[in-house]
A and B are shown apart, each in its own frame.
Chain A
Amino acid sequence: MTTAISVSGLVKTFGATRALDGLDLEVATGEVHGFLGPNGSGKSTTIRVLLGLLRPDGGRSELLGGDPWRDAVALHRRLAYVPGDVTLWPSISGGEAIDLIGALRGGLDPRRRAELLERFDLDPRKKARTYSKGNRQKVALVAALASDAELLVLDEPTSGLDPLMEAVFQECIREVRAEGRTVLLSSHILAEAEALCDRVSIIRLGRTVQSGTLAELRHLTRMSMVVETERPADGVGALPGVHDLRHDDGRVSFDVDTDALDGVLRHLAGLGVRGLTSTPPTLEELFLRHYGDELAEDGVPVAQEAGRP
């Protein structure tokens, strides 16, 4: 297994803010790697160091076998980048922007460009000032996906996409992986990472807190469920792995550990289930639950950090 990205002990400060505080990240060639963390945890900063846009204050980083700062231009020809907040030139059309970004990287495949425009349902004639946030993001996505770059660096690429387009995006990423290309996908949506990623790294406050396959991280997750049953579901609260049981107008809602899910469902089946919704936890909830106590002990203001929009 060769590595596409290898970062260790990365430090980056902005004045008094320590945005990266000894961050580690390993991405193997050919994998889709999820880069997860709550708002302000340092995902974009890490990516911008990897792109040679920011100069790190400490640590070691290697990208496609080169130094991100020193070899920036040569490395950029081999990768495609979609920024988190895509801004374009107001008077330039989406199609022109795609061609420009593609040409400066070293050309893009016109057939694939046309196909992607179709799939993302993007009108390339519109001037950027008339695009919505999601459509600007599509412009950057088409430019990146129509290239033959061996590494795709995507910073929260779906934050403005609707569910239909999110599905198209996931399809595209699977194709990219099938071609043996590498993807670094930053996100704060756990579900997206679960759908796409071979491995994930979870960071918080500029430090890596977990890294591994999703199965390895599964023990971290806890589902939120709302159930409506024919007979009262009072016994649920006593089952192992069930937390925070609340009664609410004939329904019960509670959280359940993933590894206890099977037992809970068996129990509910005997009560005559009329309705059931389950939601995976947001990343913020995950952090609060698993690291909250630990961080609070260190004097880190957890609730405030995780509650940021």
Chain B
Amino acid sequence: MSSGSGTLTGTGRLFRFALRRDRLRLPVWIAVGTFMVVTQSVSSQALYDTAADLAAYRASVGSNAATIALAGPPVGLDTVAGAVAFEISATVMLIAALMAMFTVTRHTRADEEAGRTELLRSARVGRHAPLLAAVLLAALACVVLALTIGVATTASGLPAPGSFVLGASVAACGLVFTGVTAVAVQATGHTRGVYGLVGGLFAVAFVLRAIGDIEGNWVVWTSPVGWAQATHPFSDDAVAPLLLCLVVAAGLVVAGFALLDRRDLGSGLVQPRPGRPTARRGLLSPLGLAVRLHRGALIAWTAGLALLGVVYGALAESVETLIGENEQALAMFGNPDVDQLVDAYLGTTFAITALLASAYAVSAVLRARAEESGDRAEVLLATGTSRAAWLGSHVAVALAGSALAITASGLTTGLVRVAQTGEAAALGRMVGAAVSYVPAIWVVAGVAVALFGLLPRLATTVAWTAVGLFLLITMFAESFDWPGWVGDLSPINWIPTLPLEEWTLAPLVGLAAVAVALLAAGFGGFRRRDIALG
């Protein structure tokens, strides 16, 4: 690291500027992370309020590889506090890692990509200052997150030392990924590449610790997520693993500075691969282009939902022991007979998967809006491409893609169930249950299309708000006893909860009519309006 005099000039000013730019963003990340721990704490304390409940829980998850793979080491499960740390730490560590990744990238690579860094560097700002300011900001956010988790979890009724160890573990994971991002932003020349690299490394770290936790062996120690979880909050409260995280984080940041000295402003260490000099025939149509633009996201969502299908399927077996003996959990699933428990559980998981598939469909429709406001629609709409064909290409990918993603999830759940029960019929039932949600998903996509056509400038905000509301309604309307008409606001709720309930035609017809009306409104509005930039 050749930080001669002046390479850090301006760090303080940049740091304060970055803090100002993120004054809303970071509090939201911190609030979400803290909120998740507190919610888990409150609901676990209510759910396992007797020693018998806790013992049943311990027996069920302690031997369930799928749960351990998703959560962490099954230690300290003899107290509710330990169960809280077990269930929530992995999720909050993911949040901390993402917060660190987005924060560091925003103030380094993203600024550089947009040419803002060039502007700054020509002013009196040293070469290392932007990276240092970004790292300091991410570190500050992690420390604040540790403190808020510590304070809020203590306030929710769990022991104070363990609460702060939990917070510190989460922060330690965030700090390691601050360092990872500091290196990644040097390696690749564009923001999406950074997200791919850091996200991929987190996934690898997560899988390594999952293997280690299931096998109960040394593999855990190959993963920073494993180190952060090795503190075992509320049982061991060990702090030594945190030091390992800190040392590695610092080492990575130093490496980031060293790499920064070896590259040019605006480019990465890794030069991007060249593309094709001429286009393949398949690209030369609006749909061809749309498929190309959506391909990466569609593959990722489909793989993600397929994986979720495996997890949900794997968990089905332990549902009986996990929930069967707990009245509150039974209420959450609408008090079915214990025989029907698994079907009820699967029905709920498909509703959740359908919400995720709707989120994908909305993001795919809104891609059209991003193309429009990013000026990339204009050049195509000035060719022989009609507005309907252009919008239709994105909508087609959204509709077909969301159907594909949820079908994949039904397929994997079905295969896992066939392996568990030996009944081949389970496959058809699971795929059928998943596919039955397609009309509802298309209605949500239709809402986004209608917004795009009629209210382009508000479309992104309003469409995501609608997805959020549908999510709230579908998940909570029943357990919170909201009036029936509120539940009906979410198209997902129109679908009978397969495989528990019977399939009926009426909602399908209703949803199809609504979807067609929404699409017609969207396409009609788009045909009549200005192509709006910005």
Contact = CB atoms under 8 A, between A and B. Distances in A.
B376 A104 contact: no
B189 A96 contact: no
A179 B190 CA distance: 43
A85 B534 CA distance: 13
Given A83-B378, A99-B284, A100-B279, A73 B274 contact: no
B275 A93 contact: yes
B275 A53 contact: no
B375 A104 contact: no
A60 interface: no
A86 B279 contact: no
Contacts of B278: 95-96, 99, 124
Interface in B483-534: 528-531
Nearest to A127: B275
A129 B275 CA distance: 11
B197 interface: no
Interface residues of A, number: 40
A96 B279 contact: yes
Nearest to A54: B530
Given A87-B375, A87-B376, A96 B383 contact: no
Interface in A188-224: none
A92 B384 contact: no
B421 interface: no
Contacts of B422: none
Contacts of B274: 93, 125-127
A51 to B, nearest CB: 5
Nearest to A85: B375
A94 B386 CA distance: 23
A95 B277 contact: yes
B241 interface: no
A65 interface: no
Contacts of B279: 95-96, 99-100, 103
Interface in A60-98: 72-73, 76-77, 79, 81, 83, 85-96
Interface in B279-296: 279, 283-286, 289, 292-293
17 contacts: A73-B384, A77-B384, A83-B375, A87-B375, A88-B376, A89-B293, A90-B192, A91-B275, A92-B275, A92-B292, A93-B277, A96-B279, A99-B284, A104-B384, A105-B384, A124-B278, A126-B275
Interface of A: 48, 51-55, 72-73, 76-77, 79, 81, 83, 85-96, 99-101, 103-106, 124-127, 129-130, 140, 153
The 10 closest A-B pairs by CB, nearest first: A93-B275, A99-B279, A104-B383, A125-B274, A103-B284, A81-B382, A96-B279, A53-B531, A95-B277, A105-B383
